[in-house]
Amino acid sequence: MIIPEFIKNLKPYVPGRPIEEIQKEYGLKTIHKIASNENPLGPSPKAVEAMLSVASGLNRYPDIGALELRGKIAEKFNVKIENIAVGNGSEGIMANILRSFLCEGDEMITSKATFIGFQVLARGRANKFIEVPMNHEDYKFDLNAILKHINQKTKVIYLCNPNNPTGTIFTKSEFDDFIKNVPENVLVIMDEAYFEYAEDKTEYPDSLQYRLDNVITLRTFSKIYGIAGARIGYGFGHKELMETIMKVKLPFEPGNMAQAGAVAALDDVEFIDKSKKLNKDGYEYFLAELGKISGEKNFKVIPSYANFLMLDLGNPERVNKINESFLKEGVIIRPLIAFGLPHCIRITMGLNEENEAFINSFKKFI
Ligand SMILES: Cc1ncc(COP(=O)(O)O)c(C=O)c1O
């Protein structure tokens, strides 16, 4: 069997470590997992109820066109159903975008220190993939540098806003300056997995509002809606692009439980509001507590627009030591070596008691 070189060299996606694994390794009862940007409140209760109610119909295949869900999304965001695609998570849609539009010789551009899931998908193709360095002072995408890398072969640009793992955004005016310089035949993927945490900020560009023919906006039910395990995401874009993605996707993705859960989750306003509030409170708590010691202990807190926060600890040794100490105490955080930031860690805003556990341990170890 001949395996292509780019597949042989592919490094698989490394997720945050699972709770059960850490429990076993360190003999711990209680674990606080604030590593994977999941909703600490659990899944949307309305989604769970809807998913259970369709479980008895699991012998049937799901609706290929996901019409009920797409109709609901269309209504909520005031777009036409033909401008919406769905898939097995927003990552599933990303995979379908690459399958749909990349031809031999086409190139892709993104930034360093962004979502690894896209990097894995991009490297799983024979196409050239360019990662442009970030602005190192503020950990933001360097959109001007990305523009400079566009050439005749560029087909796809991947942007993540707010960005995982830095939590930073590019603003409306930065996006405006960027997009007007992107040729119309270059497809821009705007990954807005953390949209709901940033949407209330006036400087945040909601890419859906631009209605651009060469931009696909991706969102997910994995974050604020809390159904990451169901694997369902959605995208907005030009009719022709969305039709293509829907044609190329696995016929029966997403599954019928996922579709039912997503339909119900969209209506779970109470849960979304509660999740936003918990996140905001957690963020303010972290900023206040970490702000008190960051000068003296020599680390940086990077302001975040998402449900997680990045800390720059200065060097990889410090990250490794602190990560190991945290694991022993049953707190799972995310060291960012795999993102090319070995001197940084990422923490997800958790429940109040999880946030307190983090702060107490952090003060001890730092
Ligand atoms: C920026 C970003 N995009 C996409 C995803 C994956 O989303 P989904 O579960 O919808 O595939 C994540 C998950 O961590 C993410 O951080």
Segment 128-150, tens digit of pLDDT: 999 999 998 899 999 999 999 99
Instruction: Give, for 160, the enclosing helix (H) or strand (E).
Output: strand 154-160
CA of 304 to the centre of ligand 1 (A): 17
Between CA 169 and CA 141 the distance in angstroms is 8
Query: Do 275 and 226 touch, CB atoms closer than 8 A?
Result: yes
- Please report which confidence band the pLDDT of residue 118 belongs to, taking 50, 70 and 90 as the band edges: very high
- By residue count, the chain amounts to 366
CA of 121 to the centre of ligand 1 (A): 12
CA of 1 to the centre of ligand 1 (A): 32
Give the pLDDT score at 302.
Answer: 98
Query: Do 89 and 15 touch, CB atoms closer than 8 A?
Result: no
Instruction: Return the SS3 of 167.
Output: coil
307 lines ligand 1 (CB under 6 A): no
Least confident of 10-19, 148-157, 171-180, 197-206: 10-19
Between CA 289 and CA 183 the distance in angstroms is 45
Query: Do 274 and 121 touch, CB atoms closer than 8 A?
Result: no
The tens digit of pLDDT for each residue in 273-317 reads: 999 999 999 999 999 999 999 999 999 999 999 999 999 999 999
Give the pLDDT score at 274.
Answer: 98
Beta bridge partners of 219: 234
Give the pLDDT score at 251.
Answer: 95
Instruction: Give, for 171, the enclosing helix (H) or strand (E).
Output: none
Angle subtended at Cα 157 by Cα 82 and Cα 106, rounded to the nearest 5 degrees: 95
Q: What is the CATH number of domain 45-267?
A: 3.40.640.10
Pocket test for ligand 1, best of 13, 34, 69, 164 (most atoms within 8 A of CB): 164
The tens digit of pLDDT for each residue in 180-217 reads: 999 999 999 999 999 999 999 999 999 999 999 999 99
The tens digit of pLDDT for each residue in 64-116 reads: 999 999 999 999 999 999 999 999 999 999 999 999 999 999 999 999 999 99
The answer to whether the Cα torsion of 189, 191, 195, 197 is positive or negative is negative
Span 233-260, average pLDDT: 98
Give the pLDDT score at 100.
Answer: 97
Closest C-alpha residue for ligand 1 atom 8: 89
Give the pLDDT score at 16.
Answer: 73
* Fold: same for 16-42+270-365 and 45-267: no
Give the pLDDT score at 303.
Answer: 97
- Please report which confidence band the pLDDT of residue 55 belongs to, taking 50, 70 and 90 as the band edges: very high
Query: Do 358 and 34 touch, CB atoms closer than 8 A?
Result: yes
Give the pLDDT score at 136.
Answer: 80
The answer to whether the Cα torsion of 93, 99, 100, 102 is positive or negative is positive
192 lines ligand 1 (CB under 6 A): no
- Please report which confidence band the pLDDT of residue 15 belongs to, taking 50, 70 and 90 as the band edges: confident
Residue 272 pLDDT more than 90? yes
pTM value is 0.96
Residue 353 pLDDT more than 90? yes
CA of 246 to the centre of ligand 1 (A): 19
Instruction: Give, for 64, the enclosing helix (H) or strand (E).
Output: none
Residue 151 pLDDT more than 90? yes
191 lines ligand 1 (CB under 6 A): yes
Tokens of 308: 């997680």
- Please report which confidence band the pLDDT of residue 18 belongs to, taking 50, 70 and 90 as the band edges: confident
Domain 16-42+270-365 is found in CATH 3.30.1360.20 = no
CA of 105 to the centre of ligand 1 (A): 27
List the one residue out of 215, 101, 205 whose CA is nearest residue 158.
Answer: 215
Between CA 279 and CA 277 the distance in angstroms is 5
Give the pLDDT score at 52.
Answer: 98
Span 157-165, average pLDDT: 98
Instruction: Give, for 253, the enclosing helix (H) or strand (E).
Output: none
- Please report which confidence band the pLDDT of residue 11 belongs to, taking 50, 70 and 90 as the band edges: confident
Residue 19 pLDDT more than 90? no
Domain boundaries, the chain: 16-42+270-365, 45-267
Per DSSP, helices labelled H in the chain are 5-8, 19-26, 45-54, 67-77, 89-101, 116-123, 143-149, 172-179, 195-198, 239-248, 256-266, 269-297, 316-328, 352-365
Half-sphere exposure of 225 (CA within 13 A, CB side): 29
